């Protein structure tokens, strides 16, 4: 008999025989020698014993045991378990399309069953501002709203809103009960149309731009040569950081085209005054200033991998590797920097199954081959983002994320040598009802790994949709008009 548990425990020793789950007594013990998230479960005819060092380890043991007990007939065994990575994250984009607090809680509940311990909440972007702040109420009045609901639909229905501080505190409290830290992301200096649409004076040109109604990369970003921008960011981040009681804060840093900076007198003056070589180093300077401010508030900083392009980013910044084509993240980790693996072509959950089949997600190895043995520990974890440009409702979001979120959950907890895709698929069958009980409907099994014809069609469509003239221009020539 096997254990229908996800993520798969790292060490299981079977005694032989079974125990009827209707006749189970459970005893809890403490062992200081265990890791903070580790636990031991002993299932014998005399009963079940759970041993842990902390309440967190006990919580994870209970999650494992609850899955085992659902089997009815429980194998007599000993489980010795702890996670492969300390950081096990999931990200929800609540900007492009929002989720209700209750929907977010359902997603969190499912993630907690999978032993995720970090919720990365994407709360600002070009298409809206999603968090209440008292220091700049104009962001909720203007930046939180765009002219249409669906991307590119021009449907004439204004779309927007934001989460109040009380709603955010409610989500944080819900996560705390499940040992999940909540990390806010306020993206900067790029993906800031919601900010510069509200405060045009914070951009290089000072011209009005509308909150975006489509996805993409946009040239009007925060002016890194304007001291008023730094003052604005410090006030904004100070208030937001106080709301989130955890160590990490995500400051974005991705997809920041710099053509406006190239032609901006203030940015060029800043480059010369600080002895910087170019606009890439200006972003490094900007990022370091923001990081230093947040670090003075007791926060550790996370940013996307483009942050490394300047060559001067603070080594204390943890890097989210979503698309590193030049090996900068490998070099960063080999020099002691911390990295979180969330490769877009394997762990982005909003790609259709023809582009990213379940097997592709499951079989991805998050630790780089070119790392030295000593520096493999600098890949501190995995994260699975879901971006919602084309996901307008929660049911669609669940269809896209489940079961692939389970695959990333297993990657975060189960050591690579213990993983097996065929075993994982069999265990998934037992997980459908518990997800349904939470309010989440998983994609049907026949859709997880499409055949060659479907995959070819979906990959071609994905490439075609992404190759808009503006996207090509900004991607190939980010520093030119």
Active site residues: 125, 191, 255
* Three-state DSSP class for residue 421: helix
How many CA atoms within 13 Å lie on the side-chain side of 133?
A: 27
Count Cβ neighbours within 10 Å for each residue of 300-310 and write b for 16 or more, e otherwise. Answer: bbbbbbbbbbb
Q: Dig out the tokens for 233 from the structure.
A: 């960011």
- From 20, 61, 64, 22, select the one nearest 44 (Cα to Cα): 20
Q: Dig out the tokens for 400 from the structure.
A: 């896209």
C-alpha triplet 33, 37, 40: angle, nearest 5°: 60
Burial class (CB in 10 A: 0-12, 13-18, 19+), 359: middle
* Rounded distance between C-alpha atoms, residue 213 and residue 362, angstroms: 33
- From 104, 77, 124, 243, select the one nearest 174 (Cα to Cα): 104
Would strands 159-160 and 145-146 be described as parallel, antiparallel, or unpaired?
antiparallel
Check if the beta carbon of residue 146 is closer than 8 Å to that of residue 211: yes
Q: For residue 120, what is the enclosing H or E element?
A: strand 118-122
- From 215, 297, 202, 300, select the one nearest 249 (Cα to Cα): 300
Burial class (CB in 10 A: 0-12, 13-18, 19+), 388: buried
Query: What 8-state DSSP symbol labels residue 461?
Result: H
Check if the beta carbon of residue 129 is closer than 8 Å to that of residue 188: no
Would strands 300-304 and 318-321 be described as parallel, antiparallel, or unpaired?
parallel
């Amino acid at each position: 008999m096997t254990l229908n548990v996800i993520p798969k425990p790292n060490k299981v020793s079977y005694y032989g025989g079974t125990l009827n789950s209707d006749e189970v007594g459970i005893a809890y013990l403490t062992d200081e020698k265990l890791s903070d998230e580790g636990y031991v479960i002993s299932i014998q005819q005399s009963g079940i014993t759970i041993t842990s060092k902390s309440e967190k380890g006990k919580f994870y043991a209970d999650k494992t045991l609850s899955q085992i007990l659902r089997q009815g007939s429980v194998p007599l065994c000993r489980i010795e378990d702890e996670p492969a990575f300390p950081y096990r994250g999931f990200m929800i984009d609540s900007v492009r399309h929002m989720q209700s607090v209750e929907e977010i809680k359902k997603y969190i509940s499912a993630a907690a069953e999978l032993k995720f311990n970090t919720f990365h909440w994407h709360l600002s972007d070009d298409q809206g501002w999603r968090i209440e702040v008292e220091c700049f109420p104009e962001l909720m009045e203007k930046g939180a709203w765009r002219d249409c609901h669906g991307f590119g639909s021009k449907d004439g229905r204004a779309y927007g809103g934001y989460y109040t501080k009380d709603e955010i505190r409610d989500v944080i409290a819900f996560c705390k009960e499940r040992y999940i830290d909540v990390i806010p992301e306020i993206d900067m200096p790029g993906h800031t149309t919601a900010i510069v649409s509200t405060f045009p004076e914070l951009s290089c040109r000072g011209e009005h731009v509308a909150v975006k109604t489509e996805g993409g990369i946009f040239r009007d970003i925060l002016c890194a040569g304007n001291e008023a921008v730094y003052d604005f960011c410090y006030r904004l981040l100070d208030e937001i950081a106080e709301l989130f009681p955890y160590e990490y804060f995500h400051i974005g840093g991705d997809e920041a085209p710099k053509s406006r900076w190239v032609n901006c007198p203030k940015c060029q003056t800043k480059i010369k005054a600080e002895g910087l070589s170019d606009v890439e180093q200006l972003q490094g300077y900007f990022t370091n200033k923001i990081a230093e401010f947040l670090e003075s508030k007791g926060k550790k900083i996370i940013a996307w991998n483009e942050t490394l392009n300047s060559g001067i980013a603070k080594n204390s910044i943890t890097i989210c590797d979503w698309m590193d084509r030049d090996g900068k993240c490998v070099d960063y980790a080999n020099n002691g920097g911390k990295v979180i693996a969330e490769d877009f072509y394997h762990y982005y959950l909003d790609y259709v199954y023809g582009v990213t089949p379940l097997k592709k997600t499951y079989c991805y190895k998050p630790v780089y081959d070119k790392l030295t043995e000593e520096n493999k520990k600098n890949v501190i974890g995995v994260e699975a983002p879901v971006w919602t440009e084309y996901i307008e409702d929660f049911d669609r979001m669940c269809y896209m994320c489940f079961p692939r979120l389970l695959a990333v959950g297993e990657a975060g907890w189960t050591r690579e040598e213990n993983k097996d895709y065929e075993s994982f698929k069999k265990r998934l069958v037992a997980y459908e009802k518990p997800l349904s009980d939470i309010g989440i409907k998983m994609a049907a099994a026949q859709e997880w790994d499409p055949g060659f014809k479907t995959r070819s069609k979906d990959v071609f469509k994905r490439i075609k949709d992404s190759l808009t003239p503006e996207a090509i221009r900004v991607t190939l020539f980010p520093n030119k008009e």
